[in-house]
Amino acid sequence: MITQIKHEIANFDALEIIQYVQQKFGSDAVFSTSFGIEDQVITHLMAEAKSKAAIFTLETGRLFPETYYVWNRTLEKYKLPIKTFFPNTEAVEQMVTQKGPSSFYESVENRKECCYIRKIEPLHRAIKGYKIWITGIRSEQSTNREDMESVEWDEANGIIKIHPLFHWTLSQVEQFLKTNGVPYNPLHDKGFPSIGCQPCTRAIQAGEDFRAGRWWWEDKSKKECGLHVTTK
């Protein structure tokens, strides 16, 4: 099926890809948003296409106030329901009781444990039962993502992933936001190209890698939480 999808959408733009997913998969598709600029473009296009794909977000409990701000703005503008998934309460309580609220700074293993509890496990629940997972991934966002494809099989989650903005540049994203009046996180104007949990995200300096502000205390090669690590 992946080969067929790749062939059928080979010359489509982002809106046409979303329309294709709507026509072929309808409510069997799901879109994950973290309210970053790419995800905001996708949300706008989904509203334009009158997509029936479900939309969800992961509420980790450690988000920036600015993320909640753009979340509300998005609901107000597009009137699209965004289902919210929280981490398992008992798992969070146990981790924080045993290791404290900032254990993720102490080792990669602890950080991955926190990511798993707050993001990966809720993600499994969020995409369960769907056939297509739409994301806002762009290939230039990190080395790991350059190795991905615009349509691929996610072995860990047993689902086909489609990235409508895969070949977009950052300037294309920013121009789309401006042209279409799309609400976006104000932290993007303060040097935050990638925005996750507040304790694990900082602004980057000129010349730094796109992902340098995420888990900045770790080696560059480890800078993924596991949401988009694909086995081909």
Q: Which domain holds residue 23?
A: 2-222
Residue-wise pLDDT for 86-121, tens only, equals 999 999 999 999 999 999 999 999 999 999 999 999
- For the segment 176-202, what is each residue's pLDDT rounded down to a tens digit? 999 999 999 999 999 999 899 999 999
Span 77-90, average pLDDT: 98
> Residues of 205-217 as b/e, b for ≥16 C-beta within 10 angstroms?
eeeeebbbbbbee
Active site residue 225: yes
- pLDDT at res. 230: 46
* Cβ atoms within 10 Å, residue 181: 8
SS3 call for 57: strand
Asked if the structure places residue 143 within a domain, the reply is: yes
Domain count, the chain: 1
pTM of the model: 0.90
Confidence of residue 3 (pLDDT cuts 50, 70, 90): very high
CA distances to 40, 58, 87 from 83, in Å = 15, 9, 14
Which amino acid is located at 107 in the chain? Answer: S
| Cα(89)–Cα(92) distance, integer angstroms | 5
> Would you say residue 227 lies in a domain?
no
